[in-house]
Amino acid sequence: MAYDDIHTPVLLDRCVELLAPALQRDGAVVVDATEGMGGHSEALLERFPQVRLIGLDRDTDALRIAGERLARFGDRVTLVHTVYDDIADAVRSAGATTVDGILFDLGVSSLQLDEADRGFAYAKDAPLDMRMDQTAATTAADIVATYGEGDLRRIFERYGEEKLAGRYARAIIAARQEAPIDRSARLVEILIAATPVAVQRERSGHPAKRVFQALRIEVNGELAVLERALPEALGILPVGGRIVVMSYQSLEDRLVKRVFAEATRSTAPAGLPIEPPEHAPRFRLLTKGAEVASDEEKSRNPRATPVRLRAAERVREAS
Nearest CA to 242 among 103, 35, 94? 103
Give me the pLDDT at residue 7, please.
66
Q: Is residue 26 in a domain?
A: yes
Q: Are residues 168 and 255 in the same domain?
A: no
CATH of the domain at 127: 1.10.150.170
Find out whether 84 is annotated in a ligand binding site: yes
Give me the pLDDT at residue 204, please.
74
Tens-digit pLDDT profile for residues 232-260: 999 999 999 999 999 999 999 999 999 99
Find out whether 40 is annotated in a ligand binding site: yes
Find out whether 147 is annotated in a ligand binding site: no
The 3 state secondary structure assigned to the chain is: CCHHHHCCCCCHHHHHHHHHHHCCCCCCEEEECCCCCCHHHHHHHHHCCCCEEEEEECCHHHHHHHHHHCHHHHHHEEEEECCHHHHHHHHHHCCCCCCCEEEEECCCCHHHHHCHHHCCCCCCCCECCCCCCCCCCCCHHHHHHHCCHHHHHHHHHHHHCCCCHHHHHHHHHHHHHHCCCCEHHHHHHHHHHHCCHHHHHHCCCCCCHHHHHHHHHHHHCHHHHHHHHHHHHHHCCCCCCEEEEEECCHHHHHHHHHHHHHHCCCCCCCCCCCCCHHHCCCEEECCCCCECCCHHHHHHCHHHCCCEEEEEEECCCCC
Q: Are residues 101 and 229 in the same domain?
A: yes
Nearest CA to 161 among 89, 234, 211? 211
Q: Are residues 89 and 169 in the same domain?
A: no
Give me the pLDDT at residue 225, please.
96
Give me the pLDDT at residue 6, please.
54
Nearest CA to 57 among 220, 293, 214? 220
pLDDT at residue 309 greater than cutoff 60: yes
| Confidence tier at 294 by pLDDT (50, 70, 90) | very high
CATH of the domain at 308: 3.40.50.150
Give me the pLDDT at residue 268, please.
67
- Pick the last residue of a domain from 159, 194, 220: 220
